[in-house]
Structure 1
Amino acid sequence: MVKKKEHGLLSPLFQWRDFRLKLFVEAILIGFLSGALVVFFRFMLEKSEEVRDHIYLLLGQQGLPYYVLWFLILVAIGLLLGYIVKLVPMSTGSGIPQVKGILTGQLKMNWLRVILAKFIGGVLAIGAGLSLGREGPSVQLGAAIGQGISRMLGRLRIEEKYLITSGASAGLAAAFNAPLAGVIFALEELHKNFSPAVLMSAMAASLTADFVSQQFFGPRPIFSFQALPVLPTYYFVHLIGLGIVCGVLGFFFNWSLIKALNFYSKLTIMPKIFVPVLPLILGGFLGFYLPEALGGGHKLIDSLAQGNLGLKMLVIFFIAKFFFTMASFGSGVPGGIFLPLLVIGALVGNIYGDIVITLLHIDPYFRDNFIVFAMAAYFSAIVKAPVTGSILITEMTGSFHHLLALITVSMVSYVVCDILNSKPVYELLLDRILANKDPRLSKNEGKNKVIIELATCIGSTLDGKRIKDILWPPHCLLVSIKRGEQEIIPKGDTKILGGDYLFIVVSEDQAPDVNQLLTKLAGEGS
């Protein structure tokens, strides 16, 4: 019986090509379902924001009783959001840290409950005006679809990991009409290695989800920067300054986000279910005086593209959007930070561009370039995923002519944040979730086995060593090595080379610790 179970666990490794083909087909199904769900999510958000804008327009023509009624509605929405988060803790916040935790085996998810809670909570929170984005919920919705398909088809855990990743990349692709960014996000952020199986399944899911999205929203890019000129190379020195500014501000963003979360967690003067009411009340006042700060901020970026805002107004928008994002996300309601941080980055780029145009007499023709480049730089500093940031902004603006400048400014901001010793925001959030998680989420008897897929970097501790000469962590077994298309059955004298993919069987309860130890051994510069 044991041998039969082990054979079932290892069968994907012994039939690797068939396994990848099956993943490809299943990923198309997941891409279609995830795309349809995220499209519906985007549609509901757009309609709810239209209703919200109409409400504020009508309230401006009404008396005090209608103002009171609106704030009572906001309080009711806040209480409902607090109840949703209490009922389904995995629906809180962005959702991307939760997906990362699920892939590493540190968190567990009830896919159907998460879909319902994330969808309803996201529409309520963003629709009511909180400064949150649709991308985090979209990624988690897609990941939940992937897990649901895996469970319904009775797939093994190793296959489920790929299907969850496929759903997550499809969610991002459908949220922003950015299929390439969805794939790179899966490789750079979720798995942090280049896996052919991940690439193949994520690409199939992302392209399918993007196809579904384009059928509904059209093929146009998310942001409307028309005829953006190519920045001359002699202006690239200004990109270094922009990258430094975005790197420092990105560090401050991550620091402020954790401080905001800690503030709400230590707020003991009211029950936790009342916490979402606070940012909603704040948003209610902003709706009358600074409505551009509400929601994700897509319309604010479009207004920057039209160039109608002065420097003083840009600074006001930056301060309002930054602190309202902290207040909104810190409350723990369902909603992401992708879009708000891109909006804040765009404001930083606009302010920087206006300053260098005024002081250094840069041609105003290139002002919009700084807006677009700052979005990528700010994203790279906060998420520490410069390739994803560059590709994402490229797809969202609809032009590949600026890729060199995007990568340049993104890498500068990444290096600055690295010097400041800032961790990626989703790792910070995952660490915080794990430190405060419900014990039920980590309850594990250790009876199940899982397979860890590990990429060996050139120059790592494992590179060039024989298997028998390596001090392996306890509770694990190396069962297969993939070197290109070649499968190697490991023996004591087998030498591991840089670029190899190692497949290691480990008890499910030991997987996070073993994965952490082996990642250090196989990592670059270890």
Structure 2
Amino acid sequence: MKNNYKILTDDNYGKIALIFKSLLVGMAAGGVVVMYRITLTYAEEFAFGMYGFMRENLHMIPVLLAGLCLAAYFVGFLVSKNNMISGSGIPQLKGILGGYFAKRKNWLHILCSKFVGGAIAISAGLSLGREGPSIQLGASIAEGIGKKVGKSRLERKILMASGASAGLAAAFNAPMAGVVFALEEIFKYFSPVILLSTMSAAVAADFLSKEVFGIAPVFEFEVTRAIPLRDYWMLILLGIIMGIMGAFYNYALLKTQKLYGKMKFLNERTRPIIPFMMAGILGLAFPVVLGGGHRIIEELTLQNGIWFISIIFILKFIFSAVSFGSGTPGGIFFPLLVLGASVGAIFAGISINYFGIESDFFYNFVILAMAGYFTAIVRAPITGIVLIMEMTGSFTHMLSLTVVAVTAYVAADLLKSPPIYDALLENLIKKEHVDSEREHSRKILIEIVVQHGSEFEDCHVRAIEWPEKILLVGVKRGEREIIPKGGTEIKAGDYLFILADVSGEARTREMLNAMNEQI
């Protein structure tokens, strides 16, 4: 506990030491993710080349289908041996940092299985992305390093979050998005220690990634000027549409998972056969929807027409849900960005053809729709805005991106659509039948930031109905460290340091977060 508290409150040696450890994590995570990106690049090229060959040699189709079945079964075998590698890996990471999943394979097993499983899935052409696995790979290598250099349990968790930040940074050449993602989606609060650690790791990983892949942004859209203010009513309309579409995406994805679960003739080892077979069919008939979606981006032009892009969107939507719902290792970041870009292209085509919007703004709507779709699905608007700016290399869309993202967020929230990673984590916890880590003698220090309007604000310590088996051991207000007493009054913005049993960490976090929500 002493080491945990020192990490969070020490302004000198502890923070500096943690920054250097985070730099080490960033370089290691960046190296692994760079290798993963290179592997997936060749894997995707292999997929398109393989299906191109098969279209010219139709008599080989039985061999193709047999090979896909074997590959699918092997991926299913990997998942059955280690369920922590299923899907994107982000819900698993959030669960581990939240106190769940104590009984899991070690970090090296997760890293190797995720790497191999994700590469095979992309080699077959499944509609999955690299970012979720990259985040989990970064966190896994960070966990391994943390076991060697981490002084406490809390420091190891901070290093894991730093590894996750580094993974996203290296996956998309987006260091700031990696930092914001760790703060907004993983921790859901701001802490100077966490900020410094995640930023150090993300910058180190991004530097390594840019040394290998160059400094060019992931998307190179031709955008000549920003949308004028007189047309911002179109952005509100676009945000509403993206919010509705994002809510439907979450609904479809969760329903697909449930549908797989109801198929009693399938198990974890055979479930991936369905998306692998679907990849085979689409690879022969409509290959543009294969993989993460890089080929689709090339098709998003005004000349291709609304109906053709609509067909691409429908097929990609269904294929993505079938691929991810099966539990095959792979992420949803890039496919959902491509889906959002497709909706943006359709919206732009309609706006230009029927509402008199200038054709120069076609790609503006494509970019804005990606941020709106991401925000509606993940419910992380700041991450969406920063991610799109870094991926497009354009920082002139800040205002318009914010309008679309906020509108999409509100629309999805009004539809009561749950954030996708929270919903996936909840399903995973139910499936695994876990409550929390089962260590009874060890302690964990939990840090929370008091929100405005929460049960904690302007209350004395003695007046708060604290959960059982916890102890408030410290309060930090600005640069002041306060030893809490019964008469200590808690203010909004205070950092509370709470000692809890490891065995009840997950439940304690849930109760504290519920108390800390705005009333």
TM superposition score normalised by structure 1: 0.96
Q: Distance in 2 between matches of 1:493 and 1:366?
A: 59
| Unpaired segments ≥5 residues, structure 2 | none
Deviations 1:288-311 (A, max 9, x none): 11111111002211331x544211
Q: Residue 175 of structure 1 aligns to which amino acid in structure 2?
A: A
Q: Residue 374 of structure 2 aligns to which amino acid in structure 1?
A: F
Post-superposition shift, 1:467? 1.1
SS in 1 for 2:471: strand
Match of 1:363 among 343, 358, 361: 358
Match of 2:246 among 230, 247, 250: 250
Q: Distance in 2 between matches of 1:9 and 1:219?
A: 38
Deviations 1:157-199 (A, max 9, x none): 1111111110001100110000010011011111111111111
Post-superposition shift, 1:11? 4.1
Deviations 1:28-65 (A, max 9, x none): 0011011110010000000011112111222222241x
Deviations 1:397-431 (A, max 9, x none): 00100111001100000000011111100000000
Q: Distance in 1 between matches of 2:445 and 2:11?
A: 14
Q: Report the counterpart of residue 197 of structure 2 in structure 1.
A: 201
Q: Distance in 1 between matches of 2:229 and 2:2?
A: 58
Q: Report the counterpart of residue 3 of structure 1 in structure 2.
A: none
Q: Distance in 1 between matches of 2:9 and 2:317?
A: 51
Q: Report the counterpart of residue 469 of structure 2 in structure 1.
A: 475
Contact 1:13 1:480 in 2 (8 A): no
Task: Give the fraction of aligned pairs with identical amino acids, expressed as a percent.
Answer: 43
Q: Residue 224 of structure 1 aligns to which amino acid in structure 2?
A: E
Q: Residue 84 of structure 1 aligns to which amino acid in structure 2?
A: L
Report the aligned-residue RMSD: 1.4
How is 1:51-450 mapped onto 2 (pairs within 5 angstroms)? Answer: 51-64=46-59, 66-108=60-102, 109=104, 110-304=106-300, 306-437=301-432, 442=436, 444-450=438-444
Q: Residue 98 of structure 2 aligns to which amino acid in structure 1?
A: T
Post-superposition shift, 1:459? 2.6
Q: How many residues align?
A: 517
Post-superposition shift, 1:263? 0.9
Contact 1:82 1:273 in 2 (8 A): yes
Deviations 1:77-135 (A, max 9, x none): 10000000001110000111111111111223521111011100111112211101000
Q: Residue 272 of structure 2 aligns to which amino acid in structure 1?
A: P
Contact 2:142 2:160 in 1 (8 A): yes
Contact 2:138 2:163 in 1 (8 A): yes
Post-superposition shift, 1:154? 4.8
| More off after superposition, 490-499 vs 411-420 | 490-499
Post-superposition shift, 1:13? 4.9
2:448 corresponds to 1:454:
yes
Q: Decide whether aligned partners of structure 1 residues 300 and 205 sit closer, same or farther in structure 2, where only a CA change above 3 A counts.
A: same
Q: Report the counterpart of residue 22 of structure 1 in structure 2.
A: 17
2:464 corresponds to 1:466:
no
Q: Distance in 2 between matches of 1:60 and 1:425?
A: 37
Post-superposition shift, 1:16? 4.6
Contact 1:30 1:167 in 2 (8 A): yes
Contact 1:224 1:302 in 2 (8 A): no
Contact 1:448 1:507 in 2 (8 A): yes
Q: Decide whether aligned partners of structure 1 residues 483 and 296 sit closer, same or farther in structure 2, where only a CA change above 3 A counts.
A: same
Q: Distance in 2 between matches of 1:13 and 1:319?
A: 48
Q: Distance in 2 between matches of 1:10 and 1:355?
A: 56
| Unpaired segments ≥5 residues, structure 1 | 1-5
Q: Residue 230 of structure 2 aligns to which amino acid in structure 1?
A: Y
Q: Distance in 2 between matches of 1:81 and 1:237?
A: 47
Q: Distance in 2 between matches of 1:341 and 1:154?
A: 35
Deviations 1:357-403 (A, max 9, x none): 11111111111111110000000000011111011000000010011
Q: Distance in 2 between matches of 1:40 and 1:13?
A: 33
2:516 corresponds to 1:522:
yes
Q: Decide whether aligned partners of structure 1 residues 222 and 228 sit closer, same or farther in structure 2, where only a CA change above 3 A counts.
A: farther
Contact 1:228 1:368 in 2 (8 A): no
SS in 2 for 1:132: coil
TM superposition score normalised by structure 2: 0.97
Q: Distance in 1 between matches of 2:11 and 2:156?
A: 15
Q: Distance in 1 between matches of 2:362 and 2:316?
A: 21
Post-superposition shift, 1:14? 6.1
Q: Distance in 2 between matches of 1:100 and 1:13?
A: 20
Q: Distance in 2 between matches of 1:394 and 1:68?
A: 45
Q: Decide whether aligned partners of structure 1 residues 412 and 11 sit closer, same or farther in structure 2, where only a CA change above 3 A counts.
A: closer
Contact 2:158 2:197 in 1 (8 A): yes
Q: Distance in 1 between matches of 2:450 and 2:436?
A: 29
Contact 2:29 2:166 in 1 (8 A): yes
Contact 2:289 2:295 in 1 (8 A): no
Post-superposition shift, 1:12? 3.1
Deviations 1:421-472 (A, max 9, x none): 1110000000000010155x95613221111110001232211112122111
